Amino acid sequence: MKRLTAATLVVAMLAVALPSDVRGQGAKPFVVPEAAALLPWAQQITVREEWLTKRHALLLPMMRRHKIGMWIVVNEEFHDDPLSQYVAPPRPYTGNRDFFVFIDGGDQGLKKFAITAYTEENLARFFDAPFTEPRPPATTLRDLYQQYKPATVGLGIRGRRGQTRSLGYDAYRFLAETLGEDAEKTFVSASDLIEEYLDTRLPEETAHYRAAVSVTEAIVKRALSNAVITPNRTTVGDVRRALFDMLGAAGVRTWFQPDLRVQRKGDDIATSRGFLAVAPESTVIRHGDVVHVDFGISYMGFDTDWQKMAYVLQPGERDVPESFKQAMANTNTLQDAVMLRHARPGATGGSVFTNTMAEMKQRGIEAMVYSHPIGTQGHGLGASIDFRSPLRSDTTAQNSRLRLGSYISIELNTATPIPEWGGKKLFVMMEDDAFLTDQGFRFFRPRQESYYLIKAAGSAM
């Protein structure tokens, strides 16, 4: 059988058979040239395992900074811990309960042990893993605890996020009963260690993440075009299904359902949890609509998050009204404030948010900022620049400091009154993935500064 790779998928599978009522007149087969840069699955694993070696080299200083003597990650059968693919080789683990143990061995350095139900040759490259039939995990865990006598045992408990509270009740009881009452008194939350470990980026990761963002951008551009949308006929559900088909064609997956929002003259503004509401799937996209897509992909252990805007031209129109352009310019101004003027390594997420909103008030721009860390998870760990943090008394997210090189999803919006809509506000919502430098955040791909244009039905433009 011919071996299919991400690159060959571009050639062999990217002719997406979208229904005729979804695709525009004369649409060509869907192609994402950027997907050719994605690695075949086997090569992805090879590269990620090279990263794992470098990540393990960073772990001991992190453990000492956070006063963790032993860190245990437990992977349950069909209930993977969100950390497993980042602390161990990114391969399937199907044992009833597998343990990845990291110990501060003092002068011996970092000691690493994989206690798994099934022996796996590859684990020996990263852990002290037995090749013969393993002993019962309880015996090995007790021996390790007695040998190293750590002052603290860090676990995925008492965290505020799923990545930092991932240890289940039964696994916790197993560890407590196995190691004993005295050991249980040393159990602490590994939350801060987990945050630093997942929020620390390697320079080698940048090019691969940029490739993922490029594919995300290409898919969204295609979705917000006449290749998919025929005004007055295509529905929101049609576009969503097209996005799913494009994911399959590109050989990647997503971590959340793609959403669309539609704004138009006359309709009331529907909201949900303080944001513009997602449009029902039955909504028909019409001339004069402003269409927004929220979309992301998963690739090589990374997630992307991306929001862009399109305008459906009225018959005879060749561009968006000037007031719409000003609305987008306001959002670009907000991006500049967050990224370039207020964000620096070491600044807290809360201070960046406060300073940004003060500038927007001075400029007379109605703004919202809800940016979040990204990378290993779409909603990652690290400093958030988010209006909701103080409302939740989430001091961790608010007071966490921006880490040089970390990735963030710059998610925000502005609301601008539109004269053509009788003063009704247009929300220009953007989301772009970026990385932190000494001079502030930089986008992985150029930001959107003009609307994607969807031609009027029957237009020859």
User: Is 51 strand, coil or helix?
Assistant: helix
Q: What is the pLDDT of residue 19?
A: 45
102-130 per-residue burial string, b: 16 or more CB within 10 A, e: under 16? bbbeeeeeebbbbbbbeebeebeebbebb
Q: What is the pLDDT of residue 132?
A: 64
Amino acid 100 reads: F
CA pair distance 336, 330, nearest whole angstrom: 10
453 DSSP β-pair partners = 311
Q: What angle do CA 202, 207, 208 make, to 5 degrees?
A: 85
The dihedral through the CA atoms of 373, 193, 44, 16 has a sign that is negative
Q: Pairing state of beta strands 302-303 and 298-299?
A: antiparallel
Q: Which domains, from first to last, does the chain contain?
A: 41-198 (3.40.350.10), 203-454 (3.90.230.10)
Other beta carbons within 10 angstroms of residue 169's beta carbon come to: 8
Q: What is the pLDDT of residue 396?
A: 58
Q: What is the pLDDT of residue 16?
A: 41
Contact between residue 334 and residue 365 where contact means Cβ atoms under 8 Å apart = yes
Residues 6+ apart with CB under 8 A from 148: 69, 70, 103, 104, 105, 111
Residue 19 buriedness (CB in 10 A; 0-12 / 13-18 / 19+): exposed
φ and ψ at 293, to 5 degrees?
-120, 135
φ and ψ at 173, to 5 degrees?
-65, -35
Q: What is the pLDDT of residue 460?
A: 56
Q: What is the pLDDT of residue 195?
A: 96
Torsion of CA 245, 250, 255, 256, to 10 degrees: -30
DSSP assignment of 178-192 equals HH-HHHHTTEEE-HH
The dihedral through the CA atoms of 128, 57, 83, 35 has a sign that is negative
Per residue of the chain (461 residues), give pLDDT as tens. Answer: 433 344 433 333 334 444 444 444 444 556 778 899 999 999 999 999 999 999 999 999 999 999 999 999 999 999 999 999 999 999 999 899 999 999 999 999 999 999 998 878 889 999 987 666 778 999 999 999 999 999 999 999 999 999 999 999 999 999 999 999 999 999 999 999 999 999 999 999 999 999 999 999 999 999 999 999 999 999 999 999 999 999 999 999 999 999 999 999 998 888 888 889 999 999 999 999 999 999 999 999 999 999 999 999 999 999 999 999 999 999 999 999 999 999 999 999 999 999 999 999 999 999 999 999 999 999 999 999 998 765 545 555 557 899 999 999 999 999 999 999 999 999 999 999 999 999 999 999 999 999 999 999 776 55
Q: What is the pLDDT of residue 274?
A: 81
CA pair distance 99, 382, nearest whole angstrom: 25
CA pair distance 117, 98, nearest whole angstrom: 6
Q: Which of 127, 139, 58 is nearest to 93 (CA)?
A: 127
272 DSSP β-pair partners = 275
Q: What is the pLDDT of residue 395?
A: 58
